[in-house]
Amino acid sequence: MAWVNAIIQGILTGGLYALFACGLSLLFGIMKVVNLAHGDLAIVGAYIATGVIAVTHVPFLWSIPIMVVLMAALGYALQRSVIQAALNKGELATLIVTFGLSIVIENGLQRFFSANSRSIGTGSSLLSASFSAGSQIQIGWLPVGILGIAILVLLALQYFLSASRYGRMIRAVADDRDAALLSGINARHVFGIAAAISFGTVGLAGVAYGMSGQFSPTDGNSTILLWAFAAVVIGGLGSLWGTLLGGIVLGVAQQVGGQINISYEALAGYIIFLVVLVFRPQGLTARRTQS
């Protein structure tokens, strides 16, 4: 039973990882930007949510859409300014710029919010409750809810990309930027929209992370970015549903590793990551188009 429990908990954790990873994957798939500040932005989202509650005293649930809008605006602004400027100099320059952003964000957060860790109080007893399935298995409503939200976000993203006018333009720019320009599409604006979506989703992930436990300014770089990378690589770069699969594989590996020995939890996750990298570098879900 303990093993079944580990697998169930792993699948549920996968939802959080997918939420972290989908924005990273989207940004890479569309403009080949590896956003090294992605993890820090999740933490920014968590701080914005707590800040919104503290300043406006809105109920917790209201703070989430406000945070998503603010993060999306930040994403669009950063894309149109520093990230685009780096893109014009080549894809390698974006690594340096996003690395710099990561340092600025991390230190900025420490400056303003101190290095103390905190958590997001939901004020809801339901979210901290759990239900039992069998004698040894306790399933928390919060991870179930996060997995549900991750699936909803992925469904919404898939619908947006496949059926909407802007989604079509995003895919066109990702396929062939010059040909899209020739059709009158402003690729910079489209990139900005993609960044807005990426930042919005990672903000959501940050709030989910803050609700699940403690968060502090350094978490973005030390843990979240690595998880998100691992989930993206395991699932397949640029694939949306691959991030969910990758997140679940990573989550199950960690939980099962932790079941063997609690100190193997992180190790098991990275072993799976390396195994996939060696034997199936294109990820578990192969990409449709060349990258």
Partner 1 sequence: MSESPLLEVRDLTVHHGQLRAVSNVSLRVRPGEVYAIIGANGAGKSTLLRTIAGLHHPTSGLVLLDGTNVTRLRAEKRATAGISMVPEGRRLFPSLSLEENLKVGASYARRGPWDIPAVMELFPFMKERRGQKTAQMSGGEQQQVAIGRALVANPRVLLLDEVSLGLAPLILQRIYDVLPRILASGVTVLLVEQDVAQARRVASHMQCLLEGRTTLEGRPSEFTSEQVEAAYFGLAGHNAGGAR
| Interface with partner 1, residue 174, by CB under 8 A | yes
Looking at the Cβ atoms of 27 and 68, the one nearer to partner 1 is 27
**One residue of 2, 55, 126, 182 binding partner 1 per CB under 8 A:** 182
State the minimum distance, in angstroms, from the CB of residue 240 to partner 1: 13
Of 48-56, 62-70, 179-187, 260-268, which segment contacts partner 1 by CB under 8 A?
179-187
Q: Which amino acid is at 180?
A: A
Of 165-173, 192-200, 249-257, 263-271, which segment contacts partner 1 by CB under 8 A?
165-173
| Interface with partner 1, residue 176, by CB under 8 A | yes
CB 34 within 8 A of CB 232: no
| Interface with partner 1, residue 286, by CB under 8 A | no
- The conformation of residue 131, written as its DSSP 8-state character, comes to E
Looking at the Cβ atoms of 107 and 162, the one nearer to partner 1 is 162
Looking at the Cβ atoms of 118 and 168, the one nearer to partner 1 is 168
Q: At 130, give phi and psi (nearest 5°).
A: -145, 165
Looking at the Cβ atoms of 174 and 253, the one nearer to partner 1 is 174
State the minimum distance, in angstroms, from the CB of residue 160 to partner 1: 14
| Interface with partner 1, residue 288, by CB under 8 A | yes
**One residue of 180, 205, 224, 231 binding partner 1 per CB under 8 A:** 180
State the minimum distance, in angstroms, from the CB of residue 246 to partner 1: 20
Looking at the Cβ atoms of 57 and 288, the one nearer to partner 1 is 288
CB 75 within 8 A of CB 195: yes
Q: At 138, give phi and psi (nearest 5°).
A: -115, 125
CA gap 279, 81 in Å, rounded = 39
Cite the DSSP H helix spans in 32-90.
38-56, 60-78, 84-88
Closest to 44 in 3D by CA, of 186, 188, 210, 270: 210
**One residue of 2, 126, 135, 178 binding partner 1 per CB under 8 A:** 178
Name every residue whose Cβ is closer than 8 Å to that of residue 195 and which is 6 or more positions away in sequence. 27, 75, 76, 78, 79, 83
Compute how many other C-beta atoms are within 10 angstroms of the C-beta atom of residue 24.
Answer: 28
Of 100-108, 124-132, 146-154, 185-193, which segment contacts partner 1 by CB under 8 A?
185-193
**One residue of 57, 116, 126, 165 binding partner 1 per CB under 8 A:** 165
**One residue of 46, 109, 169, 240 binding partner 1 per CB under 8 A:** 169
Compute how many other C-beta atoms are within 10 angstroms of the C-beta atom of residue 112.
Answer: 10
State the minimum distance, in angstroms, from the CB of residue 30 to partner 1: 12
Q: Which of residues 75-94 bind partner 1 (CB under 8 A)?
A: none
* Burial tier of 164 (Cβ tally within 10 Å: 0-12, 13-18, 19+): exposed
Tokens encoding 21: 């990873």
CB 179 within 8 A of CB 172: yes
Looking at the Cβ atoms of 103 and 181, the one nearer to partner 1 is 181
CA gap 109, 119 in Å, rounded = 15
Q: Which of residues 261-280 bind partner 1 (CB under 8 A)?
A: none
Contact footprint for partner 1 (CB under 8 A): 165, 168-169, 171-172, 174-176, 178-187, 288-289
